[in-house]
Amino acid sequence: MAEEETRPLTREEWRKRVQSEGRMETIRKEMIRLGFWNDAQLSPEEKQQQALEDEEYERLQKELNKLKMESAKLSNLKQLLKEARKKRIEESKRKRAERKAQREKEKAEAKKRWQEYKETHVIHAGEGVSGGLQNTEYEEAKLRKNGLPVIGSALQLAEEMNIPLQRLKWLTYHRNTATLCHYHRFTIPKRSGGKREISAPKRSLRQAQEWVKHQLLDRLPIHPAACGFVPGKSTLVNARQHLGQSVVVKMDLKDFFPSITFRRVKGLFQSSFGYSESVSTLLALLCTEPPRKEVEFDGTYYYVAMGDRQLPQGACTSPTLTNILCRRLDRRLQGLASKFGFQYSRYADDLTFSCSKHDAEKLGGLINGARSIIQSEGFKTNEKKTRILRDTNRQTVTGIVVNQKPNIRRKELRRFRALLHRVEINGLNEENRDNHPNFWEYISGTAGYIRMVRPDLEARLASSLIGIGEKYNLHIPPWCKQATVADR
């Protein structure tokens, strides 16, 4: 029996003992057996202390069990961290996808707005001319005061002109090298020798320029001294102001049309008209064109700009624009002429001053003052064409003799009479030695000009034209028949 008590118990025996005696009782007996516990009867104080210790033990045991359970939960910490990281990544991807979708949406909306903006605005009109296209501020009060249409944008301009905005963009886009040109170019002989290049706008551009002229340019007043390209005025009106004067001074503005560049025209539409920089740019592009040279390369023809944009000779807008741009020049020269007792008039780039014998001594001061004013207004004097004509010699103003009465040079009259005689005998084709494309219209126009200057020759000219017209079945100007009836 003693051997059994001292023999170590097996695991199975321990398990059965704990089940039968209880865990605490088994531990107590073992401690007594091993000498760690006194089996004597405990005092009440000791029993109370024992009870407290047992309670503390139970409490600690519960906490230990709780910690074991929590430890069991944390046993797979790496997996929990992995799952948490996965969720965080998925959430980040979701938010990133939402932000990307929002950016794509905003980008698409911005692209749509930009596309809509481009459809109603001119964003770019070519290199060197596109500055200020986004400036749409205009002076409404000035526009209304001048009786001009209030236009604040490119779309409004196109609508006023009754053309699509794309057509306006096409007409105004500037290229230094282009395969298409909006002008027909040809040359005509100058009266003083050489050739003058004429740039005639093609149909679409011509219609746009006609609108600009009639709806905008013609509504601004011109200085009374301007006689060229002004309704109701002519070379005759210009010349009559200088009839019977002792001295006639003729001055010429050098490179008149080329000196009026795109920037000057644009500034005119802004300052004098009151339009915005954007609209002024487009209007200036419609009215200007650089001199171009046609070259061929690799089988394709190109029109290469040979200089800055300028007023083309041949556009209906150019003469009126020059008259508007020269208003201050005319006003200053008129003031100068009045100061020295001279008469002043301007026909395009031809300036004419005249005075009586009494004021001829002030000639030097007038010429020097005129040169100074011309230069300060951005023009140059063509000194080769400056003429001082005295009444002792023939005085001509814009081709009309003004010594006593308006007259045509005798040599020109004789030459034209001889031409009429030869045409009546030989016909138009035989006498059209310069291959004039509209020879009969040229003859009729020249006869009408002579009739304007010399009304006393009207009947004789009419008789010659009627004779030629009836002989060769040509259209006879209406004034010819009226002149013959009046002569009878």
The token duo for 192 is 């003083």
How many residues can be counted in the chain?
488
Helix (H) or strand (E) holding 249: strand 247-252
pLDDT digits (tens, 9 = 90+) for 256-279: 999 999 999 999 999 999 999 999
The token duo for 242 is 């200088």
User: What would the mean pLDDT of 398-419 be, rounded to a whole number?
Assistant: 94
* Distance in angstroms (rounded) separating the CA atoms of residues 293 and 302: 8
* Distance in angstroms (rounded) separating the CA atoms of residues 398 and 384: 16
The token duo for 232 is 């109701």
pLDDT > 80? residue 470: yes
Give the percent of the chain with pLDDT over 70: 95
Give the percent of the chain with pLDDT over 90: 72
User: What would the mean pLDDT of 338-364 be, rounded to a whole number?
Assistant: 95
Architecture of the CATH domain 223-256+321-406:
2-Layer Sandwich (3.30)
Residue ranges of the alpha helices (H) in 228-387?
Answer: 235-240, 262-268, 277-287, 317-325, 327-340, 363-376
pLDDT for residue 15: 86
pLDDT for residue 488: 47
User: What would the mean pLDDT of 155-181 be, rounded to a whole number?
Assistant: 94
User: What would the mean pLDDT of 97-107 be, rounded to a whole number?
Assistant: 94
Task: Please name the residues in contact with 462: beta carbons below 8 A apart, sequence gap of 6 or more.
Answer: 451, 479, 480, 481, 483, 484, 487
Amino acid, res. 362: K
User: What would the mean pLDDT of 140-152 be, rounded to a whole number?
Assistant: 95
* Distance in angstroms (rounded) separating the CA atoms of residues 287 and 212: 9
Residue 1: pLDDT band with limits 50, 70, 90: very low
pLDDT digits (tens, 9 = 90+) for 33-65: 877 766 666 677 777 887 787 788 888 888 888
pLDDT for residue 192: 65
> 76: burial class by Cβ within 10 Å (0-12, 13-18, 19+)?
exposed
pLDDT for residue 44: 77
* Distance in angstroms (rounded) separating the CA atoms of residues 132 and 2: 119
Q: Which range has the worst mean pLDDT, 114-128, 285-299, 356-370, 418-432?
A: 114-128
Q: Is 425 helix (H, G, I), strand (E, B) or coil?
A: helix
pLDDT > 80? residue 103: yes
pLDDT for residue 94: 93
Q: Do 318 and 212 touch, CB atoms closer than 8 A?
A: no
* Distance in angstroms (rounded) separating the CA atoms of residues 192 and 67: 118
Residue 379 backbone dihedrals phi, psi, to 5 degrees: -120, 170
Q: Among candidates 460, 436, 461, 439, which has minimal Cα distance to 448?
A: 461
The token duo for 278 is 């954007």
pLDDT > 90? residue 399: yes
pLDDT for residue 63: 87
What is the overall mean pLDDT for the chain? 90
pLDDT > 50? residue 390: yes
- Looking at the chain, the domain(s) classified CATH 3.30.70.270 span 223-256+321-406
What count of other Cβ atoms lies within 10 Å of the Cβ of residue 328?
A: 13
Q: Do 466 and 478 touch, CB atoms closer than 8 A?
A: no
Helix (H) or strand (E) holding 87: helix 77-120
Q: Do 389 and 340 touch, CB atoms closer than 8 A?
A: no
Give pTM, 2 decimals: 0.77
pLDDT for residue 278: 95
User: What would the mean pLDDT of 284-295 be, rounded to a whole number?
Assistant: 95
pLDDT for residue 5: 56
Residue ranges of the alpha helices (H) in 121-234?
Answer: 140-145, 154-161, 165-172, 203-215
pLDDT > 60? residue 175: yes
Q: Is 203 helix (H, G, I), strand (E, B) or coil?
A: helix
pLDDT digits (tens, 9 = 90+) for 298-335: 889 999 999 999 999 999 999 999 999 999 999 999 99
What strands lie across the sheet with 387-390, from one edge to the other? 343-347, 350-355, 247-252, 387-390
Q: Do 360 and 247 touch, CB atoms closer than 8 A?
A: yes
β-sheet bridge partners, residue 310: 261, 289
Q: Among candidates 254, 240, 195, which has minimal Cα distance to 397?
A: 240
Torsion from C-alpha of 20, 23, 27, 30, nearest 10 degrees = 20
The token duo for 67 is 């910690």
The token duo for 53 is 């210790």
pLDDT > 70? residue 452: yes
User: What would the mean pLDDT of 68-88 be, rounded to a whole number?
Assistant: 78
Q: Which range has the worst mean pLDDT, 34-48, 168-182, 228-242, 384-398?
A: 34-48
* Distance in angstroms (rounded) separating the CA atoms of residues 224 and 230: 10
* Distance in angstroms (rounded) separating the CA atoms of residues 56 and 140: 97
